[in-house]
């Protein structure tokens, strides 16, 4: 779609929302007037990815390529998601043969950001498969340089999402100096590829709505599910707290850290920041954390000592699989704190 970028150029001084509205009405007009040719814009089947030959033809010319456009011409908009019970990792890998070691760079231009997607996980292999199936082509269409890291908690202590994400940040920085980190729940699949997986000048919360909550923000100040912080924003808040074991609280704790630094949470327009939550029961090992209210009252006092700078863990293995890097880690137990 060459139309949207040129319309955006015209309204550069206007707000992002205004530009999106223009695009949306242009698309609506096109849909109404052009019938079948435009249907492909709104209907999604996992897209064929750019050809490997292209990638290999320009190994050294990479730096001199023009920057990718502000709005990728490859975006589809609203996607039709599928959750086939028979889907296999092998199928997803063969659909994404341009991804190696979980990583991808657009062959056609120089990406505007390098983005590490961090997914904390334990015994959610099916959810992970659905997420990879949708996220890889989604990110390729957004033309970012990206890698997906799955941070697997070893052992059967209560799940600690926040600490796993701290580990993911520290481990991913050993591979590359990422500009941007996306902290991503394994069971949330984005429904619209105009929800750009890149960082902003302020910490960004990407999940305004999900099908499970009627596409409404869960509560004012909600900062969970999927968030995007630059390397420096995350460092400034000393990352997440390491002390939240079990479900809940750690995302509110991060919001408090962000606010203490005078930063302001931004969100994409609600019509694009939509997710499907793949159904599941709460896992054993991830019971509600009843201590979370007490912990949240002390965030302002402890954030400087509790976070990235106090995150102790033991890396058990780093497997570079075709579609993701599997970092398996021993993060200790609640009593060890
Ligand atoms: C949201 O969509 C997923 C996938 O289609 C489905 O499994 C789940 O039950 C839906 N949740 C609600 C509350 O509609
Ligand atoms: C990650 O690696 C560990 C150790 O080899 C393995 O037990 C686990 O199943 C792997 N997880 C994923 C999601 O690949």
Domain ranges of the chain: 89-330
The angle at the Cα of 164, spanning 162 to 170, to the nearest 5 degrees, equals 105
Which pairs with CB-CB distance under 8 Å and at least 24 residues apart come from 27-34? 27/1, 27/77, 30/3
Residues with CB under 6 A from ligand 2: 121, 125, 128, 150, 152, 317, 319, 326, 328
SS (H, E, C) 200-229: CCCCEECCCEEHHHCCCCCCCCCCCCEEEE
Q: What average pLDDT score do residues 268-290 get?
A: 88
Give Dmax over CA atoms of the chain in angstroms.
Answer: 64
Atom 6 (ligand 2): residue with closest C-alpha? 328
With beta carbons less than 8 A apart as the criterion, state whether 131 and 186 touch. Answer: yes
Question: How would CATH label the architecture of 89-330?
Answer: Alpha-Beta Complex (3.90)
In which band, very low, low, confident or very high, does the pLDDT at 44 lie, cut at 50, 70 and 90? Answer: very low
Q: Is 251 a catalytic residue?
A: yes
Structure confidence at residue 24 (pLDDT): 54
What is the pLDDT at residue 285? Answer: 81
pTM reported for the whole predicted model: 0.82
The answer, yes or no, to whether residue 5 has pLDDT greater than 60, is no
What gap in Å lies between CA 176 and CA 129, rounded to an integer?
Answer: 25
Minimum mean pLDDT among 60-74, 269-283, 290-304: which range? 60-74
Please list, in sequence order, all residues whose beta carbon lies within 8 angstroms of the beta carbon of residue 53, skipping any fewer than 6 positions away. none
CA angle 224, 310, 149 (to 5 degrees): 50
> Which ligand 1 atom sits closest to the C-alpha of 213?
13
Centre of ligand 2 from the C-alpha of residue 18, in Å? 45
Q: To the nearest whole percent, how much of the chain has pLDDT over 70?
A: 80
Residue 130 CA to ligand 1 center (angstroms) comes to 13
Contact 47, 79 (CB under 8 A): no
CB 116, CB 141: distance < 8 Å: no
Three-class DSSP category at 182 = strand
The stretch 107-123 carries a mean pLDDT of: 96
Residue 54 has pLDDT above 70, yes or no: no
Q: Ligand 1: which residue has its CA nearest to atom 2?
A: 276
Of 1, 157, 167, 164, nearest to 74 by C-alpha is: 1
d(Cα 189, Cα 187) in Å, to the nearest integer? 7
């Amino acid at each position: 779609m060459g139309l949207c970028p040129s319309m955006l150029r015209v309204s550069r001084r206007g707000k992002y929302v205004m530009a999106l509205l223009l695009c949306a009405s242009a698309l609506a007009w096109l849909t109404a007037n052009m019938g079948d040719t435009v249907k492909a814009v709104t209907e999604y089947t996992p897209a064929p990815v750019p050809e490997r030959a292209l990638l290999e033809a320009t190994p050294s010319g990479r730096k001199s390529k023009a920057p990718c456009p502000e709005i990728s011409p490859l975006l589809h908009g609203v996607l039709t998601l599928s959750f086939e019970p028979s889907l296999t990792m092998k199928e997803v890998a063969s659909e994404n043969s341009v991804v190696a070691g979980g990583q991808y760079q657009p062959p056609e231009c120089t990406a505007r950001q390098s983005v590490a997607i961090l997914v904390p996980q334990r015994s959610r292999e099916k959810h992970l498969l659905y997420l990879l199936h949708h996220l890889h082509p989604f990110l390729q269409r957004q033309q970012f340089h990206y890698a997906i890291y799955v941070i697997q908690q070893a052992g059967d202590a209560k799940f600690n999402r926040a600490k796993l994400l701290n580990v993911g940040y520290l481990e991913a920085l050993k591979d590359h100096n990422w500009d941007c980190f996306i902290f991503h729940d394994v069971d949330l699949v984005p429904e619209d590829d105009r929800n750009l997986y890149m960082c902003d000048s302020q910490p960004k919360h990407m999940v305004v709505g999900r099908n499970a909550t009627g596409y409404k923000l869960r509560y004012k100040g909600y900062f969970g599910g999927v968030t995007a912080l630059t390397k420096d924003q995350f460092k400034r808040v000393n990352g997440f707290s390491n002390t939240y074991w079990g479900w809940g609280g750690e995302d509110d704790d991060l919001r408090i850290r962000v606010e203490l630094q005078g930063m302001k949470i931004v969100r994409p327009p609600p019509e694009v920041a939509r997710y499907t939550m793949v159904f599941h029961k709460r896992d054993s090992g991830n019971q509600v954390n009843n201590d979370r209210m007490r912990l949240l009252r002390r965030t302002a006092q402890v954030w400087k000592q509790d976070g990235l700078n106090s995150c102790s863990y033991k890396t058990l293995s780093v497997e570079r699989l075709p579609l993701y890097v599997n970092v398996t880690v021993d993060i200790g137990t609640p009593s060890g704190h």
